[in-house]
Amino acid sequence: MDVAIVGIGIHPFGRTPARTGLQQGAYAARLALQDAGVEWRDIQFAFGGSASAGSADALVNELGLTGIPFINVANGCATGGSSLISAYNAIKSGQYDIGMVTGFDKHDRGAFNADPKELGIGEWYGEVGMMMTTQFFAMKIQKYMHDYSISHDTLAKVAEKAFINGSKNPNAWRTEPITVDEIINSIMVNNPLTKFMFCSPAEGGVALILCRADHAKRYTDAPVYLKGATMKSRRFGSFEVFAPSQALQQVDGPTVDASKAAFEMAGVDPKDMAVLQLQDTEVGAEIMHMAENGFCEDGEQEALIQQGATHIGGSMPVNTDGGCLANGEPIGASGLRQVYENVLQLRGQAGGHQVPGDPKLAYTHVYGAPGISAVTILQR
Amino acid sequence: MSIQIPIAEGLFSWPAAKPALLASRCKRCGIAAFPVASSCMACSWQDVEIEELPTRGTLWTWTVQQFMPKKPYRSDETHETFTPYGVGYLELPGGVRVEGRLTENDPEKLYIGMQMDVVFEPFRTEDNGDEVINFFFRPVQ
Ligand SMILES: [Zn+2]
């Protein structure tokens, strides 16, 4: 039994002072229901997540009390991916015919401040100033630039492309293009990464309606099938965020593992993918994730990005909706935003940010603390 | 009278004539971990022994923290007195790569592959005057 996505809804990302995170989630949920042509009472189960905007299952207060099982999911940046996999399995098992996956969030301004205790790390680690995701990303790309000759200009070009794509996406937060010069010369945050090379915590909500594939045409003329959905945590020896030490022998990280498993599950290859959404909490992540997900060899990103391959219209469009860089990162909603974008792309409804060539397969990838990754492969 | 106390018990030998970072090493697979853990992250074995890590190593990667972190950061600094600090992973031969603060914060003077020593210096002063000691990585002089 395949699983199809038959309804999608989004609340614009960025800052919406007039709505709580929960209300943004409800807004997205109602749009998704409408898109599938169903009512809330038709939904048999839901999985949802929110890191800072209350319990996802409180959505029933907004949408109606129908008695369905609504399971809260908390997996950091992979929350949306984990919810989606859970829903996929719930339908695949034959237990349910139709359900909802949702994620929403509303964070304070400024960098996320994590609590070492929650991750089983000593308090000293935070006290001395190492409990910072931004440091990890900076150190990972610093090493990668050294090993594979990636230039600072290429770092900036990733951000430039994100803001160009954001300017074409009415639901994005950052909608003004920013030049490479402005990006390179903005305030240094963690060398080699400047302010405009990082995404910021933000707000937003996304909801998806999933059903068993043989029912899909009841709800839509353009179902999109979830051909692969995987989630992996780190193995011993991978280089991860919030690690007071790491092994001398390095192994592949959870992104490589989740990606390989997803391609195997879907029975397709990286070269088959027409559009890619890759976790870009900062520009270095996007660059390294291109290789970790199997779309190029280490070091090839320099030429690919300089040639414009990752732009809409390029040979491997990446983060066509502007990614985290232009949308900000509401943790609970971020992974589902990627799926929303890919459904739009596969339906041919992405408007100004539509990739040409009638795409048939699309890929999403998220990465988060303390070393988890989730991947989806969607097919029209 | 003020005394010097380590920022966390068991992180490094203290007080000691020649202090060193402490690691646990798995008696089954031989993998070392920092800080000391009661079981092995590689193979889950619970029989580990504690050892001192080398005090000189090679910088594997680094960055400079340019703005003052929010809590749980706890130094004596204010936003006015904050000084950017380096952070890096030091590869300690035969042991592990340990993440630590660097004594150097000038990006022009930091490079992957440079030799550094593990040193133990005051990080902050408590209200009662006690000096809190942390480990740092210092370019070999
Ligand atoms: Zn072991």
Q: How far is the CA of B47 from the centre of ligand 1 (A)?
A: 8
> Could you give the C-alpha distances from A304 to A110, A151, A182, A207, in angstroms and in order?
32, 12, 22, 33
Cβ atoms of A225 and A210 closer than 8 Å: no
Residue A244 has pLDDT above 70, yes or no: yes
**Average pLDDT of span A17-27:** 96
Whole-number percent of chain A with pLDDT over 90: 90
A87/B contact by beta carbon, under 8 A: no
Chain A residues with CB under 8 Å of B73 CB are: 126-129, 131
Question: Rounded to the nearest 5°, which phi and psi values hold at A173?
Answer: -90, -55
Cβ atoms of B133 and B6 closer than 8 Å: yes
**Average pLDDT of span A6-28:** 96
To the nearest whole Å, the CA of B97 is away from the closest chain A CA by 5
Q: How far is the CA of B51 from the centre of ligand 1 (A)?
A: 15
A194/B contact by beta carbon, under 8 A: no
Cα dihedral across residues A34, A36, A39, A41: positive or negative? negative
A217/B contact by beta carbon, under 8 A: no
pLDDT score at A78? 87
Q: How far is the CA of B52 from the centre of ligand 1 (A)?
A: 18
To the nearest whole Å, the CA of B15 is away from the closest chain A CA by 18
Residue A284 has pLDDT above 80, yes or no: yes
pLDDT score at A108? 81
Helix (H) or strand (E) holding A71, with range, is strand A70-72
CATH number for domain A3-109+199-379, candidates 3.20.20.140, 1.10.357.10, 1.20.58.2050, 3.40.47.10: 3.40.47.10
pLDDT band at A255 (very low <50, low <70, confident <90, very high): very high
pLDDT score at A119? 78
Helix (H, G, I), strand (E, B) or coil at A73: coil
pLDDT score at B131? 96
pLDDT score at A185? 96
Q: Do B99 and A138 touch (CB under 8 A)?
A: no
Q: Report the distance separating Cα A287 and Cα A144, nearest Å.
A: 9
Chain A residues with CB under 8 Å of B74 CB are: 126-127
Chain B residues with CB under 8 Å of A188 CB are: 64, 66
pLDDT score at A236? 93
CA atoms within 13 A on the CB side of A41: 0
Chain A residues with CB under 8 Å of B33 CB are: 245
pLDDT score at B107? 97
pTM for this structure?
0.95
**Average pLDDT of span A348-356:** 98
Q: Do A143 and B61 touch (CB under 8 A)?
A: yes
Encode chain B (141 residues) as per-residue pLDDT tens digits: 679 999 999 999 999 999 999 999 999 999 999 999 999 999 999 999 999 999 999 999 999 999 999 989 999 999 999 999 999 999 999 989 999 999 999 999 999 999 999 999 999 999 999 999 999 999 998
Q: Report the distance separating Cα A363 and Cα A287, nearest Å.
A: 16
Chain B residues with CB under 8 Å of A126 CB are: 71-74
Domain that includes residue B131, residue range: 4-139
Residue A74 has pLDDT above 80, yes or no: yes
To the nearest whole Å, the CA of B25 is away from the closest chain A CA by 12
pLDDT score at A111? 59
Q: Do B64 and A146 touch (CB under 8 A)?
A: no
**Average pLDDT of span A350-363:** 97
Residue A294 has pLDDT above 80, yes or no: yes
pLDDT score at A113? 65
Residue A292 has pLDDT above 90, yes or no: yes
ipTM: 0.97
Q: How far apart are the first and last CA of chain B?
A: 33
To the nearest whole Å, the CA of B13 is away from the closest chain A CA by 15
- Give me the residue from A135, A192, A246 closest to B65, CB to CB: A135
Beta bridge partners of B138: B117
The count of domains in chain B is 1
Q: Do B112 and A142 touch (CB under 8 A)?
A: yes
